[in-house]
Amino acid sequence: MDLYSGHINNLINELAALPGIGSKSAQRLAFYIIGMSPARVKKLADALVTAKENVHYCQCCQNLTDTEICPICSNPKRDRSTIMVVENPRDLAAYERTGKYEGLYHVLHGAISPMLGIGPADIKLKELMERLRDDEVKEVIVATNSSLEGETTAMYISKLIKPTGVRVTRIASGVPVGGDLEYIDEVTLLRALEGRQEL
Amino acid sequence: MDLYSGHINNLINELAALPGIGSKSAQRLAFYIIGMSPARVKKLADALVTAKENVHYCQCCQNLTDTEICPICSNPKRDRSTIMVVENPRDLAAYERTGKYEGLYHVLHGAISPMLGIGPADIKLKELMERLRDDEVKEVIVATNSSLEGETTAMYISKLIKPTGVRVTRIASGVPVGGDLEYIDEVTLLRALEGRQEL
């Protein structure tokens, strides 16, 4: 016998299909949602559909946006000579939160992963190369993750861009600020050593 | 400046208002949802609204159900002489999963908590007492949580029901099966000792 009625089970299953939501959280969420006011449930459901319908990739940087060109790309105050390449919009948001980066971005929507069968054609690399035809671009900062896939992608991008004469750099990898050496893995410690700079 | 466009921010805020979903998870979920097919987003949104519209409390046990009387209350095979009182539908589901309990349930939808200002009138106690007018009921098993609120509620229910002559019992509290004594808190260890039974 099913523990819950059809509509509840259906909601639980839909919620449990989302990433990071297990069956217990899905149950808790479903009961919470059923306990919300009808107006709030409607608002949540509308937010889902409206976001899906209205959000698409920026024609320039491929970040998610409501407008044809995203607010960052269309901001005249941003430095158009620098493009930071990130894997996804969350990484872009992380750098934006620092409030210190003034250049543009390019969102790949993934990273090269032979293991998962994701090749260069599956991420927004073609769009990046098209942007480099613009003589304004002087530097591409590769800010993909410090994972196997991120490093592979960084190497690939570097090889692709170098012939064009545009400068390609990689964000530093090392001990996080506030990190305690004792608890940091050896690969990071070695990276930090290799990347040491004059004081 | 907002990091994301209006529709994305709106979706993130709606998701972050759900319990157990922080702002980081809400971001991850929002981007995942925007990446889903429009049909799947529609299905998720519909599941929310449909569940909210169709699910209500069982007229008898107060569990959530699509029908007037829930499948457990309307099942002729269940033992109508026993009612297990639980705090919420998830606790009911936990006992149903054991497959061994054959009586009925009563869902309180909360527990008495003077700290949070939740009194006896705020939970489904009146509905429980009404059910006891039925002479069929011989025993009420109080299966509220083993927390301060759950214990307070259990004591209150016991005092309320005893004058009616119906038997009131409380589920045992002790060392969980498979639990290692070394890691179990002292209160539980003492409870297990107090509740010891002949071998």
Locate the chain B residue with the closest alpha carbon to A19.
B29
| Contact between chains at B10 and A38 (C-beta distance less than 8 A) | no
Q: For residue B39, with 0-12 CB atoms within 10 Å meaning exposed, 13-18 middle and 19 or more buried, which class applies?
A: exposed
- Chain A contact probe: residue of B1, B3, B63, B78 with most A CBs at under 10 A: B3
Q: Quote the CA–CA distance of A77 and B124 in Å, as a whole number.
A: 60
Who among A4, A45, A66 is closest to B48 (CB)?
A45
Predicted confidence band at B1 (pLDDT cuts at 50, 70, 90)?
Answer: very low
Are A8 and B55 in contact by the 8 Å Cβ rule? The answer is: yes
Who among B6, B51, B96 is closest to A11 (CB)?
B51
pLDDT for the residue numbered A2: 61
Q: What is the pTM of this model?
A: 0.70
pLDDT for the residue numbered A1: 43
Residue B153's nearest CA partner among B93, B59, B88, B64 is B88
Q: Which residue has the tokens 């409501």?
A: A66
Buried b (16+ CB within 10 A) or exposed e, A133-158: eeeebeebbbbbbbeebbbbbbebbe
Buried b (16+ CB within 10 A) or exposed e, A71-87: bbbeeeebeeebbbbbb
Residues from chain A that touch B22, judged by Cβ atoms under 8 A, are none
Residues from chain A that touch B46, judged by Cβ atoms under 8 A, are 45
Q: Which domains does chain B have, with CATH numbers?
A: 6-54 (1.10.8.420), 64-198 (3.40.1360.10)
Q: Count other C-beta atoms under 10 Å from residue A89's C-beta.
A: 27
Predicted confidence band at B194 (pLDDT cuts at 50, 70, 90)?
Answer: confident
Bridge partner list, B105? B84
The distance of A173 to chain B (nearest Cα, Å) reads: 23
* pLDDT tens series, chain A, 199 aa: 466 778 889 999 999 999 999 988 999 999 999 989 999 999 999 999 999 999 999 999 999 998 899 999 999 999 999 999 999 998 898 888 888 889 999 999 999 999 999 999 999 999 999 999 988 999 999 998 888 899 999 999 999 999 999 999 988 888 787 777 777 777 888 777 877 776 6
Bridge partner list, B64? B57
| Contact between chains at B49 and A45 (C-beta distance less than 8 A) | yes
Predicted confidence band at B166 (pLDDT cuts at 50, 70, 90)?
Answer: very high
| Contact between chains at A3 and B88 (C-beta distance less than 8 A) | no
Residue B86's nearest CA partner among B105, B65, B71, B101 is B105
Residues from chain A that touch B2, judged by Cβ atoms under 8 A, are 71
Would you call A77 helix, strand, or coil by DSSP?
A: coil
Q: Quote the CA–CA distance of B158 and B152 in Å, as a whole number.
A: 10
The gap between the terminal CA atoms of chain A, to the nearest Å, is 69
Are A131 and A122 in contact by the 8 Å Cβ rule? The answer is: no
Q: For residue B165, with 0-12 CB atoms within 10 Å meaning exposed, 13-18 middle and 19 or more buried, which class applies?
A: exposed
| Contact between chains at A11 and B47 (C-beta distance less than 8 A) | yes
Query: Which amino acid, residue B87?
Result: E
Who among A41, A52, A55 is closest to B49 (CB)?
A41
Would you call A178 helix, strand, or coil by DSSP?
A: coil
